[in-house]
Chains A and B, each alone.
Chain A
């Protein structure tokens, strides 16, 4: 039961990263690929009807985590207090900037909200990457199962790391670059004209950086947490994850050369999901590793909610997630195809 819920939460987080990842990625690249006002509107219209729904995956995953693993929710959320609050502020700023840009006619205001959209999207991408890296590296959990991390210490990963050290910053940069690639492939898929061409050019430019940083992330992870490959030794099936990472990355340049933008975007989806699956496979059955030797790892067994909660949860969760997938299909089918360069594409 615990392992099942572990994978449920992990796959919801993966859905979040894959889906909200592309609109965050659009934000990261937005200033560079979309130069003119019609192009910027085209880029925003491509995420307009969906970005809010994508963000719901974060809330739904958070809620599921809350009831399935209350101890993890309590410990991790309070331990990462300050960065989480900053993430909340960035989410507010980002939502507001997308919305308000659409309601203002002034070019100066457009410039301001464009800047805010880029700034908040870019920092969110970095924070999410760093957050995942913090979980993989582990945190100094105390005897009472709680911890409190400073934002930074001396930059090293030893017994007293900060939220930002060399390893988590690497994770943040990787997430930033990977989401930029993801966003550019989404734009290549959903837009047309010069914007599409420029997005493809950016995807080609960013791709090698993703490749290099991904390759670096493996030895870096082993350095940051030496035990992180243990599961791979005992369960070779876990190697499917890195294989999928490689496959996903490899698809992208071939697909782009053939003009198969959908395949390229799906390759990027596979890459992101497989990276997360790889991290999750390395952690299981630990949810949050403890470093420093004071407290214990927070494991599935220790954090799991009561059995009855989880049994009934499984029933409604399966039903609810099918509905969510159904809505997702309806929306994406209705807004299928490219966003036109002309402004009457969507809307009334």
Chain B
């Protein structure tokens, strides 16, 4: 394996694993605020107990998000030093802002939220929960500003020594790509949170235990899940896709598997890209839909890969095609599942519809897959560029790190993260098995540690 591939695998693996945790905590943070608000408004203790239960799960995921997140910041310097040297003056800024505006906020108030319920008035504890939510959502924003600059560089200046600097601070933060990506991404995180919550609710109802909490989780999860599944497609996914078609036509052509430009381009629902003959094998197509989705008319011409120089094609085209199709396919399934569950909830039949509780329970891993596939679509679609149109991926890595060294640390992370996965499963399973209602005295009173 060559060093560039290893550096890429290194980053891809560590970021993919890392993002399993923030997507849940960002979604859960919102749901916990909703519960705390209901507790404050209704005075019903059940909401407080539920919030405490989810806070335990939140804390473990937050901790894993933190410890797997630190390597992400470091890796810009260790594995992507040329990229860091040239663009640190731009993307270093949102990363530093994330640390200063978000991490301090999150860590301070997470400590208060987890340890301070007795020391704070009720509104104070609500505020701590809200500030944790705010911190985690600000954190997501700054990370996406950094990523959006790589996808669609704006507001920069190139200095004579070859490094980039911020040309306009507000221009960097107001990058349209960033806001579209942020909306789409946060909606996706809420889907993960809502699916996990509904799945735990469905589990309790299927097990006929903690049923009052099961109903509460299921109701909240399905309502929030239905809203976020819809916003995931419209408007966020729709707008993001249209903007992408304008600014990264190569990525969109690759995602859709459109080898040849076409007026009234069809959408390919399924198929396998055949790179040699530049066709899609076993295609399942609907005519003219792609033109309509991108341009709003069925006759518009959509740019295919044939109009793009070969050396600017996304380098892993089949993977891009599959990631995108997995994301979009699962997104469609989510809407169907949640619409059905929402309908039954409205009719008052959801809690006893065991045939539907089963798929709700079993679907909890799917948003993780969809979010991961979505990020793969964005990042593979950006290739062969590291900063779109400015720096190629092959120009950004640390050249003086040996293949052996990079492989060694990649294996180290694989081992470390395998261990973390096991601990994560064991702990979260234990929390769910213990349930929300059981008196919670983690280890003789040493309650949830701050993450």
Binds B, one of A95-103, A124-132, A185-193: A95-103
Cβ-based interface call for B41 (8 A) = no
With a 10 A CB-CB cut-off, give which of B63, B67, B157 has the most chain A CB atoms.
Answer: B67
Q: Give the complex CA separation of A80 and B252 in angstroms.
A: 39
Whether the pair B120, A51 counts as a contact (CB closer than 8 A) is no
Which partner residue on chain B sits nearest A100 by CB separation? B423
Whether the pair A305, B88 counts as a contact (CB closer than 8 A) is yes
Residues of A within 8 A of B351 (CB): none
Cβ-based interface call for B316 (8 A) = no
Whether the pair A328, B92 counts as a contact (CB closer than 8 A) is no
Q: Summarize A's interface: helix, strand, loop or mixed.
A: helix
Whether the pair B111, A64 counts as a contact (CB closer than 8 A) is no
Q: Give the complex CA separation of A182 and B70 in angstroms.
A: 25
Binds B, one of A83-91, A157-165, A209-217, A258-266: A83-91
Our count of residue pairs bridging A and B at CB distance below 8 angstroms stands at: 277
Residues of B within 8 A of A148 (CB): 400-401
Binds B, one of A173-181, A285-293, A329-337: A329-337
Q: Give the complex CA separation of A12 and B409 in angstroms.
A: 28
Cβ-based interface call for B261 (8 A) = no
Cβ-based interface call for A283 (8 A) = no
Whether the pair A59, B70 counts as a contact (CB closer than 8 A) is yes
Whether the pair A313, B70 counts as a contact (CB closer than 8 A) is no
Residues of B within 8 A of A146 (CB): 81, 398-400
Looking at the assembled complex, report how far the CB atom of A1 sits from the nearest CB atom of chain B, in whole angstroms.
13
CB within 8 Å for A331 and B108 given contacts A70-B87, A98-B449, A99-B451 = yes
Looking at the assembled complex, report how far the CB atom of A312 sits from the nearest CB atom of chain B, in whole angstroms.
4
Residues of A within 8 A of B52 (CB): 348
Q: Give the complex CA separation of A78 and B3 in angstroms.
A: 14
Interface size (B, Cβ < 8 Å)? 82
Looking at the assembled complex, report how far the CB atom of B412 sits from the nearest CB atom of chain A, in whole angstroms.
6
Q: Give the complex CA separation of A91 and B68 in angstroms.
A: 9
Residues of A within 8 A of B60 (CB): 99, 103
Whether the pair B120, A334 counts as a contact (CB closer than 8 A) is yes
Could you mark each residue 29-54 of chain A with 1 if its beta carbon is under 8 Å from any beta carbon of chain B, else 0?
A: 00000000100010011001111110
Looking at the assembled complex, report how far the CB atom of A168 sits from the nearest CB atom of chain B, in whole angstroms.
19
Which partner residue on chain A sits nearest B417 by CB separation? A92
Could you mark each residue 233-261 of chain B with 1 if its beta carbon is under 8 Å from any beta carbon of chain A, else 0?
A: 00000000000000000000000000000
CB within 8 Å for A67 and B109 given contacts A74-B77, A82-B409, A88-B74 = no
Apart from A49-B115, A66-B73, what are 4 other A-B pairs with CB-CB below 8 Å? Answer: A55-B70, A82-B405, A89-B416, A334-B116
Chain A residues near B (Cβ < 8 Å): 37, 41, 44-45, 48-53, 55-56, 58-60, 62-64, 66-71, 73-78, 80-82, 84-85, 88-89, 91-92, 95-96, 98-105, 142, 145-148, 305-309, 312-313, 316-317, 320-321, 323-324, 327-328, 330-331, 334-335, 343-344, 346-348
Chain B residues near A (Cβ < 8 Å): 52, 59-60, 63, 66-68, 70-71, 73-74, 76-79, 81-82, 84-93, 95-101, 103-105, 107-112, 114-120, 157, 159, 163-167, 169, 398-401, 405, 408-409, 412, 416, 420, 423, 427, 430, 440, 442-451
